[in-house]
Amino acid sequence: MSDSAAQLASSRAAEGGARQGTVLAGRNHTLALRLDGTVWAWGSNASGQLGDGTAVTRTMPVQVLGVAEASSISAGNNYSLALDVYGMAFSWGNNSQGQLGTGNSTPRNYGDSVEEMNSVVGIAAGETHALALRTDGTLWSWGTNTYGEAGTGQAGFSNEWPVKVKTPSGRGVPGGGRQLQCRGAGGRLGLVLGAQSPGPGGGWEHRHAAAVARECPRPRRAVRHRGHRARACDSRRQGCVVLG
């Protein structure tokens, strides 16, 4: 076993259980979050998605630069996201569609913060767009918007910096606060489901427990789901969902 693999395997529980070890697969790379808050990656690195300061493909884990005390991670199509314990969102890798949220389309091979994305409780990397959920319940997106996945009511162009998703009646995603988590990989269309008893949540489209992909650039109201609070956001190839 290599030194990096041994370090990855030997991580121990953080005090109070504040962090959870996680391994996620992107399109051509893999991300791992150690219990000590460091982020590791391996696989293709052509776009800098491993975040080790190079473009060298790695067959063993290497540590992502610029990210410490991470609490969650997400892997997209040749780019990566991380969230730290202070609510800051970080991104690195391919940026051809503005999916790093830096205000430009320049890729980077190390972790750095997403523009103005603080007080974040959840992140999700879609195929070439990203989502972030903030403590005030607002949902933000950046990157590709070909099919309206930004949720702004418009489609056909990319957003190189975070824009606020237009949830129904201006409402945020229910069940806000530290309970919210957001994770996933892949995705072109967006779906948000939130439920806070007894009120409904909001989303691009939702049918009870199964998502129905629909080209609607603005979120639609979700079906009422009693007795649960929104806790997780999962971005897949056909959508993103916040579930309780």
Cis peptide preceding 198, ω within 30 of 0 = yes
Q: Could you tell me which residues come within 8 angstroms of residue 157 by beta carbon, excluding any fewer than 6 positions away?
A: 145
Among 92-101, 112-121, 156-165, 196-205, the minimum mean pLDDT is found in 196-205
* Domain residue ranges of the chain, discontinuous segments joined by +: 3-186
Q: What percent of the chain stands above pLDDT 90?
A: 55
Instruction: For residues 173 and 109, give the distance between their C-alpha atoms in angstroms, rounded to a whole number.
Output: 32
Question: What b/e sequence results for 171-185 when a residue is b if at least 16 CB atoms lie within 10 Å of its CB, and e otherwise?
Answer: bbbbbbeeebbbbbb
Q: Could you tell me which residues come within 8 angstroms of residue 46 by beta carbon, excluding any fewer than 6 positions away?
A: 28, 55, 57, 78
| pTM, two decimal places | 0.71
Query: What pLDDT, in 10s, does the model give residues 161-190?
Result: 999 998 766 555 544 433 333 333 344 445
- Residue whose structure tokens are 């309970």: 179
Instruction: For residues 216 and 147, give the distance between their C-alpha atoms in angstroms, rounded to a whole number.
Output: 8
Instruction: For residues 69 and 25, give the distance between their C-alpha atoms in angstroms, rounded to a whole number.
Output: 21
- Average pLDDT, stretch 150-170? 87
Instruction: For residues 133 and 128, give the distance between their C-alpha atoms in angstroms, rounded to a whole number.
Output: 17
Q: What is the three-class DSSP state of 134?
A: strand
Query: What pLDDT, in 10s, does the model give residues 14-33?
Result: 333 345 589 999 999 999 99
DSSP 17: G
Between 134 and 9, the more confident residue is 134
For the beta carbon of residue 12, count every other beta carbon within 10 angstroms: 8
Assigned CATH topology for domain 3-186: Methylamine Dehydrogenase; Chain H (2.130.10)
Model pLDDT, residue 169 = 60
Model pLDDT, residue 31 = 98
